[in-house]
Structure 1
Amino acid sequence: MKMTSIKMKNILDERLKNPDWHTSFNRDKDIFRVEWKDTRQGISITIPNVIAKYEQKGEEALEDLEYHIKEALKIMNETHELTGEEKSIYPVIRSTSFPTKTKKGLKLVYSEHTAETRIYYALDLGKTYKLIDEEMLKKESWTMERIREISIFNVRSLPSNLKQDRVADNDFYFMSSQDGYDASRILNESLLEEMKANSKGDLAVAVPHQDVLIIADIQNDMGYDILAQMMMKFFAEGRVPITSLPFIYENKKLEPIFILAKNKPTNQSEPRREE
């Protein structure tokens, strides 16, 4: 029997029972909301999206959703401090379309990175993390420079275990430790410099989603086509997509590139033409 919005709403009501939470359902917009009764802070879920995932993965999709909702609500109701938690502060890479404010209107702390990406900063809480906002910095008199230096130091301290795959005489390296900071390792300049020093061709770096870093030693035209196919696949599958464009790493800089049908990379400022 086909899953309806009302049936899914009832399932979520049952899974998210809590005397401190209030749930509601907007039939017109097909949106289910769960929030703290006292603060009215909460999360809105689009029911058709949940049904689509449920039809693909079944109970696993609901268990995953329930976990993330409960974690998010718990974080909303906690007070977090940066002082004393310096080792738990990390940079996270997001697309330039990612919001710069929280739903409460607080400005998130971020730095510019490339034409496709920004660097946000997060306080690691174990099973999840909280993006740092300007109010948190002001409260503890922290500067942007301080939080940037601490976070970059911490991400450089993370293990960088790469798996290698050779395809059509091109070398591809993958990092997917599932610690939430795989894409963040693109900020580890010493790693990129080491890979550049050992590369035979052009060094491409990619962060299609949060949980993977791809480094490619492109040694022939076929390598660009393979990389483009990888990017679209990973970007589509990622839970937190970032960008489908790879970067060329040269002179300690990352330049986004389009890969056209004839295998040649072009500057990111050029429009893409379908062939």
Structure 2
Amino acid sequence: MKAQELIQLLKTKLSEEKYDYDFNRETNMLRLTHKTIQKGIDISVPPILAKYEMKKDRVIEEVVYTIHQTFEAMVKEQAGEIDPASSVYPIIRSTSFPLKSNEGNKFITKDHTAETRIFYALDLGNTYRLLDEKMLEGWNIRETEIRERAIFQVRNLANNYKKDEVAGNFFYFFNNNDGYDASRMLNESLLREMKNMIEGDMTVSVPHQDVMIVGDIRNEVGYDVLAQMTMHFFTVGTVPITSLSFIYENGDLEPIFIMAKNRVVEENEEK
């Protein structure tokens, strides 16, 4: 499938009467604008085409669903149907993630680790919108208050996980499909609780936004397994964050490189 074929397919499924389509051939970005509320989203076309080769029509259905839900949420937000007081959550992103919205508004962020940065989002049901300074001005809310509310919300999330054992090492997979699995690494009480269960080295991995993996690494093979696992999840994730894992010790998260021959080197040492 080519870019123009994809765009034509989206027009058929989403309707040209409801949205304006603007494709930039130089950047391979498709801009969809909702004609009623005059708000838009940008879609990178190449990743969709690449996934189409593997998933065929299923990837088109996923894209159409995401677009529909995002604009539906925007309509609700503009109509004042969303309460920011109880709908703000922290979002983990890579440090390479853009710091401004497409309109040029600066996102609300907080430094986290050398590999990750915290953003904040307004939950809109089946999707969410990253908060920027302009939105906070409209609500007349301070950044510190937003951060406090977000951490409170993430602590209230259910923390269901699945446990797996590989070569004497144990891995706990948090995959609740609520959009905030990676955000659970900000729940200090959860991390401390997991630390009390673990006998070996405790690792925390957030390869993409919809999974957090806590590792109980008890031998050298465990690090090899962890490296392969995180790289796989990083590759297939819809919103990749980092393929590196973190050692959790004394309340701190330290990024680690897993080298050849099972050797583990902390990022600071590598530099």
For the pair 1:231 / 2:209, whether they are aligned, the reply is no
Name the counterpart of 1:199: 198
Give the structure 2 partner of residue 13 of structure 1.
Answer: 11
Whether the 8 Å CA contact 1:81–1:136 is kept in 2: the answer is no
Partner of 1:257: 256
Aligned to 1:54: 52
Distance 1:39 1:79, change over 3 A: closer
Tell me the secondary structure at the aligned position of residue 7 of structure 2. Answer: helix
Q: Give the secondary structure class of the aligned counterpart of 1:171.
A: strand
How much has 1:87 moved relative to structure 2?
2.2
Range with bigger deviation, 81-90 or 13-22:
81-90
Quote how far apart the aligned CAs of 1:142 are: 1.6
Deviation (angstroms), 1:39: 6.9
Name the CA distance, whole Å, in 2 between partners of 1:28 and 1:258. 36
Which has more radius of gyration?
A: 1
Residue correspondence of structure 1 range 116-135 to structure 2 within 5 A? 116-135=115-134
Structure 1 residue 194, shift from structure 2 partner: 1.4
Q: What does residue 64 of structure 2 align with?
A: 66
CA contact (8 A) 1:181 1:210 kept: yes
Corresponding position of 2:183: 184
TM-superposed deviation, 1:241: 0.5
Give, in angstroms, the shift of residue 205 of structure 1: 0.6
Report the CA distance shift for 1:132/1:22 in structure 2 as closer, same or farther (over 3 A): same
Q: Does 1:217 align with 2:216?
A: yes
Give the secondary structure class of the aligned counterpart of 1:179: coil
Pick closer, same or farther for the CA change 1:113–1:82 going to 2, 3 Å.
Answer: farther
Structure 2 CA distance for aligned equivalents of residues 216 and 37 of structure 1: 48
CA contact (8 A) 1:82 1:123 kept: no
Q: Secondary structure at the match of 1:262?
A: helix
1:105 maps to what in 2?
Answer: 104
Q: Equivalents in 2 of 1:218, 1:182: separation in Å?
A: 21
Does the residue aligned with 1:243 lie in a helix, a strand or coil?
A: coil
Deviates more, 1:209-218 or 1:30-39: 30-39
The CA distance in 2 between the partners of 1:46 and 1:240, in whole Å, is: 12
Give aligned-pair identity as a percent: 49
Aligned residue pair count: 270
In the alignment, the residues of structure 2 paired with residue 61 and residue 232 of structure 1 have an alpha-carbon distance, to the nearest angstrom, of 21
Q: In structure 2, what is the Cα distance between the partners aligned to 1:119 and 1:164?
A: 27
Q: Which moved more, 1:143-152 or 1:24-33?
A: 24-33
What's the counterpart of residue 266 of structure 2? 267
Q: Is the 8 A contact 2:90 2:183 kept in 1?
A: yes
2:157 match: 158
Which range moves more in the overlay, 262-271 or 110-119? 262-271
Structure 2: 5+ residue stretches without partners: none
> Cα deviation per residue 1:108-148 (whole Å; 9 max; x = unaligned)?
10111111111111111111111111112222232222111
Counterpart secondary structure, 2:51: helix
Structure 1 contact 83–140 (Cα < 8 Å) conserved:
no
For structure 1, the 5+ residue unaligned runs are none
Q: Write the distance in 1 (CA, Å) between the matches of 2:58 and 2:204.
A: 32
Distance 1:148 1:80, change over 3 A: farther
Partner amino acid for 1:59?
Answer: D
Which stretch has the larger CA shift, 89-98 or 50-59? 50-59
Give the whole-Å Cα distance in 1 for the aligned partners of 2:170 and 2:178.
Answer: 24
SS in 2 for 1:120: strand
Between the aligned partners of 1:30 and 1:103, the Cα distance in structure 2 is 15
After superposition, the CA RMSD in angstroms is 2.3
